[in-house]
Amino acid sequence: MGIFQRLADLLKSNINDLIDKAEDPEKMVKQIIIDMQKELTNSTQALGKAVASERMAEKRYKDSEVNAKNWELKAKAALEAGDTELAKKALANKVKADEDTASYKEMYETISSQTDAIRDQVEVLKSKLEEAKSRQAMLIARSQMADTQKNLAKSVGNFDTSSSFEKFNRMEEKIVQKEAEASAFSEIAGAAQYAETDTFEKLQSDAKVDAELRRLMAEMGGATEETANATVEAGE
């Protein structure tokens, strides 16, 4: 495929469409930039050659135009000198120069038109290349983000949530059981300590009651301390 055909294909292409259809957008955008840079280099070289051809054709056209004018001046000079034959020869050369001028002019205009077209294509290619470069970082970032999301989705899909939550439930049941056992042991220990304390308090209270009973019996009955003690002991 020639340079102009490849250039035309790139100019007609839509970068977004190329990327959307690509299996790997990241590689695609990089390849687009590489292709465009290569074509831009080639087309710039072609433009340089076209400009050189245009200038050469223009020079030939201008030189031929000047040559035609010079032969006309020579013909006038011959006529002024009364030399008709010499004037005819000069005019014959002028006619030939006029024909060359017309031919060179047509050639120059054709080459100039082609050069302008190539120049416009190069400018469009430069614009598209700049567009691709400016979007390259964004497109690559989007591509990488999409890959990351895809991998995360796969990881979540492969994760067995039911099995994992079942393990958590069993662990929670064991913890609840341990908490219940700890609470029960605490209650048992507290009850035993309370019973022991209550026994000691009852003994102390009974001793006080016996002492008061002995005192009261002694006061009311005039009984001796030995008699009151005997009564209290008998009651016990």
109 and 212 both lie in a single domain? no
Of 135, 159, 183, the residue that ends a domain is 159
pLDDT in tens, 136-182: 777 777 777 878 888 887 766 665 556 666 776 778 788 778 777 77
Assigned domain for 164 exists: no
Assigned domain for 165 exists: no
The number of folded domains in the chain is 2
Q: What is the pLDDT of residue 75?
A: 94
197 and 101 both lie in a single domain? no
Assigned domain for 224 exists: yes
3 — pLDDT class (breaks 50, 70, 90): very low
Of 106, 127, 159, the residue that ends a domain is 159
Query: Can you list the alpha helix ranges (DSSP code H) found in the chain?
Result: 3-12, 15-21, 25-80, 84-158, 161-221, 225-235
For range 19-32, the mean pLDDT: 68
Which residue, 125, 101, 103, 110, is CA-closest to 53?
A: 110
pLDDT exceeds 50 at position 1: no
184 and 140 both lie in a single domain? no
153 and 180 both lie in a single domain? no
Q: What is the pLDDT of residue 231?
A: 56
181 and 80 both lie in a single domain? no
- The separation between CA 221 and the C-alpha centre of its own chain, rounded to angstroms, equals 110
| Of 55 and 131, the one with more pLDDT | 55
148 and 43 both lie in a single domain? yes
149 and 192 both lie in a single domain? no
Domain that holds residue 224: 173-235
C-alpha distances (whole Å) from 210 to each of 197, 202, 218 are 20, 12, 12
Q: What is the pLDDT of residue 93?
A: 94
7 CB contacts (<8 Å, ≥6 apart)? 39, 42, 43, 121, 125
On average, the pLDDT of the chain sits at 77
pLDDT in tens, 180-228: 777 776 666 655 555 556 665 666 666 776 777 777 777 776 544 555 5
Of 109, 126, 159, the residue that ends a domain is 159
215 and 124 both lie in a single domain? no
130 — pLDDT class (breaks 50, 70, 90): confident
pLDDT in tens, 33-68: 888 888 889 889 999 999 999 999 999 999 999 999
Assigned domain for 107 exists: yes
85 and 59 both lie in a single domain? yes
